[in-house]
Structure 1
Amino acid sequence: MTTTPTTEGTWQRRFGDSIMKSLSTPKVMLERGDGCYVWDVDGKKYLDFLAGIAVNALGHAHPVLVEALSTQAATLIHVSNYFATPSQVELAERLKRITGAGSRGRVYYGNSGAEANEAAFKLLRLNRGAHGEKTRILALQSAFHGRTMGSLALTGKPALREAFEPMVAGVEHIETSVEALEHAFDDHVAGIIIEPIKGEAGVLDLPEGFLEKARELATKHGALLVLDEIQTGVGRLGSWFAFQQLGVQPDAITLAKGIAGGVPLGALVTFGDASDLFEAGQHGSTFGGNPFATTAANAVLGEIEASGLIENAARRGDEIRAALAGMGSSHIVEVRGRGLLIGVGLDEPIAAEISAKALDAGLIINAPNDSSLRIAPPLIVGDAEIAEFTSTLTSVLKGLE
């Protein structure tokens, strides 16, 4: 596709005149991508170390995904949930295998992470207890689970919720500490939802032993443990899913982002007894799990396995963390996360400034809050891209000294 270079401000004006004001006008309009790089409409090249917020697992225009989607688009795109398709069933079986959910596992498809968490919210509500006594749902302060009314109720960020209150009732946000878990749990708790790493809060790791204690208390009180693996799953941390690194089995996980390489798809995967809670007609989605999206997911997950990209994520993540530590910048005070989901803690609230200057220099990273940077490159990232990232960010940081 060829686009005439824009007159400065023209597309921004069109964007501002047409797109809902809930989105601020971006600085750049992107036109195409290839591997770990994207180009804007004026031909400028950028190294993409955000991957569409941990979505583009295979980078841009990966030939395996392009071929799979081209073939599927010429065959069957959508049929509704009144019919089954081969790719839909294949993906469900694949997800049961790579999650370890096994023969009792079940999969529900939606179109996004927020929709996956809406389904998880309903799952928690269905765990009512023998006498309907389980009315409490626990979530964590500063966690992010989406912007629909149900997923927003689970989100522990008051500033995001205030304009839309009253929220869906029954959710309690607790501190992220073992002590808070022990204080909050009782037999009235239906379940708890947890991000293994809080991505939108700045890539914050959970305290040591936190997830293990949540599993222990949920089992003790007949509650469900739901893990929001939307940002941490699909190989990004150097394992298929974060919970597999800790040896903790949840009752359900939610997935989206990297699962289909940029094609909208979300999923709820249940384990064991939690798979028996939903009954026919209690939830559904017209587009969820259509053959186009599930073909994309099968292609992405198959390529991750075939090309050893989980191992690549673990190795390259270590290399990027080492590069950050070696930059010698006084502004970097902490490096967080695992694999290719990396948070950089800063000494002052200059994250947005660093992100903007990096963009000007041809590097895409993200500032999830004032004092944190988020780095989440495609799982295909290699030596050359890491060297360019290191050089560019080092230059940006030195310019702020």
Structure 2
Amino acid sequence: MSGSARVDPELSEPFPLRRLTWTVFVPMAVYSTGYGAAAPMYVLRALDLGVSAAAAGIIVALTGLGMVLADLPAGSIVARIGERGAVAAGSLVGVVGVVAAACAPNIGMFAVGMVLIGVSGAVWGLARQSYLVAVVPRARRGRALSLMAGASRFGTFCGPFLGAGPVHAVGPNGALWLQLGATVVSAAAMMSIATPDGERADASERSMSVVIAENRRVLGTLGAAALVTGAARAARVTLLPLWAAHVGVGAATTSLIFGVAGAVDVVMSYPAGVWIDRYGRRATGVPAMVLFAVGYGLLPLTSTAVTVGAAAVVLGVANGLSNGLIMTVGADVAPVGKRAEFLGAWRLAHDLGYLFGPVAVGVVGAVALGGAAVVVAVVSVAGAEAMRRWFPGVPAGGDVVSRKL
């Protein structure tokens, strides 16, 4: 057709995502199942070692610190040894961390295990994201990354149910041994992935500090939106149970509320990916952050299990709609030839929000718990505005563009 725009072959070439089922999506679900089983038991394991409840919470939070500390090095590791090598290295660190936590004779050794588990998660996460970005055409990137995020959420959702048997048999360590097995199995499954063509370069040409300096404008704008998203996601895990307890909702009912919200989150995963690819990153990110703001804004107005549950479902929809969003935007703007290093810095922005979101809730919540919810709602609105202003969109031609920074 004369005068028509040329279509990028990458965008029109079909790519069946099912080919990634056994090498990416299933291993991700298995890995997350182990983590989901063990995560609720970390605190109990710390209490078994004789620390207070407050100290146990701080020590378990060291997994988030491990992720933050490892995000930048993980980018260099993937760049130098490839995705498959990084999965192997990250899994080995994870195995050491789980064994240290399960066999720890004192709280110091347990704390080391928590940090190593966080380091493993950072390396594993970056390797799988980098691999998907390399092999999936841009036009289906949102679906692929959302499916991977959904597989992770599904595993985390199922983990506590599958861990109940081992925990009943041998105590909290039963879930940690399940995590150990899941880490080994998922790593073995991902060992079949091949190094993407043209993705390895001379390590001497790659400098993390240079990559960050060259992309500081992107990291300071789009990265700020990623940080806010991480904070909004993590805050709900802390704020919802605290508010439920504040209004007198029992622990069992709170657990049920989390289960329903988690199911909504998982169900939203693939539709979120389709929305990202079809309507754009801005058109997905802005509504997700607005829903976070609505959910947190409604929370101080709730006083019963039903109303708390309604706010939790709104937050579950928001979390599900944002599945894969941050990874997709990071993949869109990652520089050619230095993708892994950039994604390490990009993940750091999100993980900093994920680490400090609950801290902010704790600090503000110590004065007024409802005030903490309002603060997170306001921050979510700011995140929506940042996405509206800076996030990439996908116009009719399918090319990813971003507004001028």
TM-score by length of 1: 0.28
Task: Write 1 or 2 for the structure with the bigger share of strand.
Answer: 1
